[in-house]
Amino acid sequence: MAWSSSSSSTSNTPPQKHEVFISFRSEDTRKTFTSHLNAALERLDIKTYLDNNNLDRGEEIPTTLVRAIEEAKLSVIVFSKNYADSKWCLDELLKILEFGRAKTLIIMPVFYDIDPSDVRNQRGTYAEAFDKHERYFQEKKKLQEWRKGLVEAANYSGWDCDVNR
């Protein structure tokens, strides 16, 4: 059953393109968990947004992604071992949290083969990622925003998916 986007016939609101925005580190989960999640949601007739399938040609990617996050009702953040390696994923996370704080987006984290406390406390591969970011990225304020964003997101109630179970 699809989530309904009920609106009156006099509404000027354009139809929603998607209901769920999925944030993920492509190399970690695109061909495994994320593709399975996307397929399951589509079988339920729930429209999803994945960055590879829904980008309009000719548009700037950041603008498109911000709009996609803003239009969604729910964002599933798939935290994987290498999620924090990507500045792109971390910036996307900050936008998701911004809309979540504004109460326009429900946030659901999935901890895919990573302990939620490693995300929250930036341990393990997340500590390694931030070591690299601190060496090569000069914007210290942005680094702090990313760190705070990971803590905030890891404090949401979500799912812990241990692939070795």
The pLDDT, as a whole number, for residue 28 is 86
The pLDDT, as a whole number, for residue 14 is 53
Q: Which of 39, 36, 67 is nearest to 54 (CA)?
A: 67
Write the CB contacts of 23 (distance below 8 Å, at least 6 apart in sequence): 75, 76, 77, 78, 89, 92, 93, 96
Report residues of the chain scoring pLDDT below 50. 1-11, 53-55, 57-60
Catalytic residue among 60, 92, 134, 152: 92
pLDDT in tens, 60-82: 457 888 899 999 999 999 999 99
Q: Which of 57, 52, 19 is nearest to 35 (CA)?
A: 52
92 in catalytic set: yes
The pLDDT, as a whole number, for residue 63 is 84
pLDDT in tens, 38-65: 999 999 999 999 876 444 544 445 788 8
The pLDDT, as a whole number, for residue 161 is 80
All structural domains of the chain, each given as residue ranges with its CATH number in brackets, are: 20-161 (3.40.50.10140)
pTM listed for this prediction: 0.83
Amino acid at 14: P
Half-sphere exposure of 56 (CA within 13 A, CB side): 11
Q: Which of 89, 74, 116, 76 is nearest to 28 (CA)?
A: 89
Distance CA 86, CA 25 (A): 7
Helix, strand, coil content of the chain in percent (nearest 5): 50, 15, 40
The pLDDT, as a whole number, for residue 160 is 86
